[in-house]
Chain A
Amino acid sequence: MTPAVEAGGVGKRYGALVALEDLSFAAEQGEILGVLGPNGAGKTTAIRILTTILEPTHGSFSVAGIPHTRPAEIRRRTGVLPESAGYPERQTAEEYLRYQARLFGQSRAAARGTVDGLLEEVGLADRGRSLIGTYSRGMRQRLGIARALVNEPQVVVLDEPTLGLDPAGQRQMLAIIRRIADDRGATVLLCTHLLAEVEEICTRVLILNRGHVVAQGTVAEVAQQASAPRTATIRIAGEDNERTRTVLSPLHVESTGGMLRVSLDDVAPNELLRRLVEAGIDVRSYELEAARLSDAFLAVTGAAA
């Protein structure tokens, strides 16, 4: 099956300045791909290229199977919430969305139906006739999501959708994003600084740094690239302590008050547990302390230094 978004060696240069270099990835239909990176990493450039606002200097990409040489068709299949998008303050949400729907070729009647449904979906049905100028930050972000969905897109690109939202607003936004992928089957490219969000809802992540892709894969795969120690903490009966050390040799084992901490650098968690069980050791608890995405992020972007 053709990936919903596929990029190969995409780059953008402004003279000698390299904004993006060799962006290569694929995102499948219905997946939520987190696009991460520190400020100036090239995220917004990547998003603007993939949404055809900017032309790449080199490389190629396709969205919903449409090659980048046909930008209007890509735009027809893509929904975008740009970072810090502006809205016409003197229009109502209904007017604004109807205008956008009509620009996507919908008739007046179809646009009205689309807009009613979207306002309901993002929880703005009761404020659809209010001027956008009266909207809070959270309402504007939800309006932006509605705008991004006005053309029933196959790919939705959200640049910092939770920026400036309070925790409740963030939860609400994440729920909407999850519904876009689950209910609509759309592929979501989620650009954000909030790693907890990514760990929570993204199926895969892509980390950019200084215009280069420095890591990509599932959250677990990327997290494994972290330099942070990953350990298993095992509680066993006191009399099994020495025997456990023998069984686990030559792995590095630390003992602290009846608890053993075993480094997972050289052994998989399941393999470790299997060895203990097969040796007949009474394992009373077994906890994995996995590296978090934030550790990986700091490690691969060099921000930890």
Chain B
Amino acid sequence: MPATAVVLGQELRDLWLGGRALVLSLAFSLLLSAIAYLVATNRALNFLEQRETVNLTLQVAVAVGALLALLTAADAISGERERRTLESLLLTPASRLAIVAGKLVASLSLWLAAFAITIAYVWFLGRGVGIAGDALASGIVVGTLLAIFLASLGILISLFATSNRGSLSLSLFLLLALFAPTQLPSAATSGWAGDLLLRVNPVTAGEHYIGRIVVDGRGWSEDIAWLTSPLIAAAIAAALALAIGAQRLNLSGGASA
């Protein structure tokens, strides 16, 4: 079995049987339950349309699911360094690339689990208007691209971080920076500059694409251009994480990494 698969298998066991991923998934479920309750209440009061309740829930699920992948990836290398278990891994003939790839893929399992949990909520909120299928399909595509993008960034930060706390803090800061434009008032995102800002940022572009399909009822291909930046960002970040990891994965981190 290739070393990547061995590392992946062990990482999945550590994450899921070790309980860390289960706790995070439980917290995710509670959060989504609270969101679903709030949006369902608002819909009952006619403050929100049904499509908007689905959109809001799905966007939160994608954001938080990708966040879980990011945090897991950010801990993957700097955490092992801090626990002094990285050296025994580096002393095996497994290539640095295989180690990084195994850890990267394992961190994506958090997003997949989050999405699996999301299915029930989206189905429940979207029943009767026939949007659950499209919503889930757009959610898995956008969420997976964002999870790959963010988890790869997490791995890159973890590669160079000299402490695990630093890695997690920087990753969270980065995530907040990427999500900040989603909170801008619509006036701030109008015009060509606002449009460019939304399109260039993979997070806002992905969430916008989901909104177009779920709320506006647009077809898959009509706004496909909005997926460009998530797709490019995911591809570039993953390629960089693997290439740099293969060269620079070492014991000390920092500038020497």
Contacts and interface: CB of A to CB of B under 8 A. Distances in A.
Contacts of B87: 53, 82, 85-86
A82 to B, nearest CB: 5
Nearest to A82: B87
B90 interface: yes
Interface in A74-98: 75-76, 78, 80, 82, 84-88, 90-91, 95
Contacts of B250: 53
Interface string B73-84: 000000000011
Contacts of B14: 88, 90-91
Contacts of B94: 103
Tier of interface size on chain A: 20 to 34
Interface in B85-124: 85, 87-95
Contact of A72 (B13, B89, B95, B256): B95
Nearest to B81: A86
A286 interface: no
B164 to A, nearest CB: 13
A278 B93 CA distance: 63
Contacts of B89: 103
Interface string B1-25: 1010011001001100010000000
Given A75-B92, A80-B91, A103 B84 contact: no
A105 interface: yes
Nearest to B252: A54
A85 B85 CA distance: 7
A86 B6 contact: no
B35 to A, nearest CB: 32
Given A72-B93, A75-B92, A86 B83 contact: yes
Contacts of B18: 90
Nearest to A76: B93
Contacts of B85: 85-88
Contacts of A91: 14
A51 interface: yes
Tier of interface size on chain B: 20 to 34
Nearest to B5: A102
A103 B9 CA distance: 11
B213 interface: no
Interface in A97-117: 99-100, 102-105, 107
B227 interface: no
Contacts of B153: none
B93 A103 contact: yes
A100 B93 contact: no
A53 B85 CA distance: 14
Contacts of B93: 72-73, 75-76, 103-105
B79 to A, nearest CB: 11
Contacts of A99: 6, 10
B152 to A, nearest CB: 23
B248 to A, nearest CB: 12
A39 to B, nearest CB: 18
A147 B88 contact: yes
Given A88-B14, A102-B1, A53 B7 contact: no
Contact of B91 (A53, A84, A105, A107): A53
A76 B256 CA distance: 25
B251 interface: yes
A258 to B, nearest CB: 60
Contacts of A104: 92-93
Nearest to B82: A86
Contacts of A90: 14, 18
B88 A53 contact: no
B83 A103 contact: no
Contacts of B88: 82, 85-86, 100, 147
A14 to B, nearest CB: 8
Interface of B: 1, 3, 6-7, 10, 13-14, 18, 83-85, 87-95, 250-251, 256
23 contacts: A14-B256, A48-B251, A51-B91, A53-B91, A53-B250, A72-B93, A72-B95, A75-B91, A75-B92, A76-B93, A80-B91, A82-B91, A84-B84, A85-B85, A85-B87, A85-B88, A86-B85, A87-B85, A88-B85, A99-B10, A102-B1, A102-B6, A103-B3
Given A75-B92, A78-B91, A105-B93, 18 more contacts: A48-B251, A53-B90, A72-B95, A73-B93, A75-B93, A80-B91, A82-B91, A84-B84, A85-B87, A86-B83, A91-B14, A99-B6, A103-B3, A103-B93, A103-B94, A104-B93, A107-B1, A147-B88
8 A-B pairs with the lowest CB-CB distances in the bound complex, closest first: A86-B84, A103-B92, A86-B85, A72-B93, A76-B93, A75-B93, A102-B6, A82-B87
